[in-house]
Chains A and B, each alone.
Chain A
Amino acid sequence: MSTPYIEVKNVSYQYADGTQALAGINLNIAEGEFIALIGQNGSGKTTLSKCLNGLFKPTSGDVIVDGLNSKDTPVVQMVKRVGYVFQNPDHQLFNSNCWDEIAYGPRNIQLDEEEVRERVTEAARVVGLPEEYFNEHPFFLSKGLRQRVAIASILALRPRVIIVDEPTTGQDARQSIEIMDFLCDLNEKLGHTIIIVTHDMPIVGAYARRVIAMGQGRILADGTTREVFRLSEVLAQTYIEPPQITQLAQCVQHLGFDPGTLSVDEMLDQMHKLLGK
């Protein structure tokens, strides 16, 4: 079996005020996975994801990324491997035009201007940012475009793993599907490992292949989306409800429905089969 790209070995994290945010986390993440990290606020999801890219150093235990231990590796080396897109794009826009914004990361890691130009062009193309926006101030763009600029600015660092915090918050259904389709392309066509930290369970059901459910600083469940959604008692501990269609399937599982049903079409197929139609 090949070495996982990220290994989390018995990691604990305690904040300065004494709050135990993580307790004994063990986890492996291979390249090319699409993972949803779910859990109630305060469950440790954000703390764990910041430990993965070196922003937080574990109080105990180790986070090994691409063979590098985060405790001994400067953050600037870690972020080249694990990118982190914050929930609010306004927290991560530092420049007066979109070009410089996307170039900010590559310039920070001391790439020459030719390489910077290549990466910025590529990242903008991948996120679908038209050239006419390159000279625009990010502050004046719509939220959706600001989010794309934020993702592009991380992509320009070419990390193998991209963590996106709440990609669909504040988005309508169409925008949510757009952003998730885009992350799906990054995963399936370009091979990036995608980790989404989210409360949006329909999105988890539709896109994530693996779900890690957290509660009180621990991992309560880790498996395929279907497997985790079947664990209704575990999910109840996280105070997270599965998507409505899954809940419906669980209510009528005594009729033969799969309690891990993920989509309306799946439910419909089962309906037809069970009714003999």
Chain B
Amino acid sequence: MNKTLLGYVPNQSPIYAIHPFVKLYFLLVVSLFPLFIADPVWNILLMAVIVILMWYSRVNMRTLRIYVPIAISMGTIILISYTVLGGTHPEYSLIFQPLGINIYWERIRDAIVVYFRILPMIFTMVFFLSTSRERDMIVAMRSVKVPFVITYVFAMALRAAGMVLEDFQIVRQAEQARGFDTTGKSIGYKIRKYVMYMIPLFALSLRRSEEFTNALIARGYAFTGEASKVKRADYILTHYPFKTYDFILIALISLFFVTLLVLRYGFGFFSVDQSLLINFLRSLLVR
């Protein structure tokens, strides 16, 4: 596996044959699907498709384990927010009342719907990050003529983030080397003391920003004026020509999205009422 700033990517993968823009397009469009699908069964199916795509792309499936605690905590928070903190609704079906708190079926249903909308969005993002290097994101943007300034700022932000992460590790060690120890201290103390990390990180960033600017100028980069209007050759894109199958994939993704919208708004598909899972759970919980 190769480590990137945002995760791990496989050394070799069939997905690398696809143009980076197609991967970005997949992320942007497919992550919208769950917004139009209320039925959790369909969203679970979407997640399964993404997991299969990950497996096909040779993503290390063990890295997905790090997302399990996140998924569990997120689900717990959503359930508690909708149920325990959901308020009083006499029009809803009361299921039970632990410690005087009203738990309604409709709130449980809504929590499940929301949870299974968010999960596929996260899975789509994880799939993208697990199969894309930083350069892929920049190529994707440049290939659709996003202004150079925007893509370059994005690239510099990634670069800066990488440097800050490296600096952070060293600053953390430097703090420990000065006897800084938060073991057994309150969360308020920890938060207050962690602000101290900001001082050296800011100092380093400020010093580096001057050198960065000088380096940009030394490379002939002009921020404003006539010199900034020079036509850029965009050499990097010569390594990433679009192939026929890239256009086919873009068309397919678009077609799926349009079909989804037609089925949803034209024929009422993917609604909660049609959901097998929701109906099954209702039959179990509501007397």
A selection of 12 A-B contacts at a CB cut-off of 8 Å is A53-B177, A74-B183, A75-B176, A76-B181, A79-B176, A79-B179, A88-B170, A90-B207, A94-B199, A108-B180, A109-B179, A154-B177
Q: Contact partner of B3 among A17, A91, A139, A153, CB < 8 A?
A: A17
Residues of chain A within 8 A of B203, CB atoms compared: 90, 93, 139
**Docked complex Cα distance between A160 and B35 (Å):** 63
Inter-chain pairs besides A90-B207, A154-B178, 14 sampled, C-beta below 8 Å? A17-B3, A55-B176, A74-B181, A75-B176, A76-B176, A76-B179, A76-B180, A80-B179, A90-B204, A91-B171, A92-B178, A93-B203, A106-B179, A157-B178
Point out the residues of chain B lying under 8 angstroms from A55, CB to CB.
Answer: 173, 176-177
In angstroms, how far is the closest chain A Cβ from the Cβ of B3?
7
B262 contacts chain A at the CB level, 8 A cutoff: no
Nearest opposing residue in chain B for A105, CB measure? B178
The answer to whether residues A75 and B181 also contact, given A90-B203, A93-B203, A94-B196 and a CB cut-off of 8 A, is yes
Are A94 and B179 touching (Cβ within 8 A)?
A: no
Question: Does A50 interact with chain B (Cβ within 8 Å)?
Answer: yes
Mostly helix, strand, loop or mixed at chain B's interface? helix
Q: A79-B178, A105-B178 are in contact. Are A90 and B200 (CB under 8 A)?
A: yes
A92 interface neighbour in B177, B179, B181, B207, Cβ under 8 Å? B177
* A94 touching B3, Cβ below 8 Å: no
Q: How many Å lie between the Cα of A139 and that of B200 in the bound state?
A: 9
Q: In the bound complex, how far is the Cα of B180 from the Cα of A139, in angstroms?
A: 21
CB distance from A258 to the nearest CB of B (A): 39
Known interface pairs A93-B203, A94-B196. Does A86 touch B170 (Cβ–Cβ under 8 Å)?
yes
Q: Which residue of A lies closest to B195 (CB)?
A: A94
Which B residues lie within 8 Å of A44 (CB)? none
Residues of A within 8 A of B176 (CB): 55, 75-76, 79
Q: How far is the CA of A94 from the CA of B180 in the complex (A)?
A: 11
Nearest chain A CB to B197 CB, angstrom units = 8
Residues of B within 8 A of A108 (CB): 178-181
Residues 187-227 of B, flagged 1 when their CB comes within 8 A of A and 0 if not, give: 00000000010011001101100000000000000000000
Q: Is the CB of B177 within 8 A of A93?
A: no
Of A76, A83, A90, A109, which is in contact with the most chain B CB atoms at under 10 Å from its CB? A90
Contact A50 B179 (CB under 8 A): no
- Give residues 148-173 of B contacting A (CB, 8 Å): 167, 170-171, 173
Interface centre among B3, B175, B176 (most CB of A within 10 A): B176
Give every chain A residue within 8 A of B204 (Cβ-Cβ). Answer: 88, 90-91
Q: Which of B125-148 contact A (CB under 8 A)?
A: none
Contact A91 B179 (CB under 8 A): no
B276 contacts the other chain (CB 8 A): no
Q: Does B64 contact A (CB under 8 A)?
A: no
C-alpha spacing A92/B176, complex, angstroms: 10
B174 at the interface (CB under 8 A from A): yes
Chain B residues near A135: list those with CB within 8 A: none
- B residues less than 8 Å from A109 (CB atoms): 179
CB distance from A66 to the nearest CB of B (A): 16
- Cα distance, A106 to B178, chains bound together (Å): 8
Give, as a whole number of angstroms, the nearest-CB distance from B51 to chain A: 25
CB proximity of A41 to chain B, nearest CB, Å: 15
Contacts of A93 in B (CB 8 A): 199-200, 203
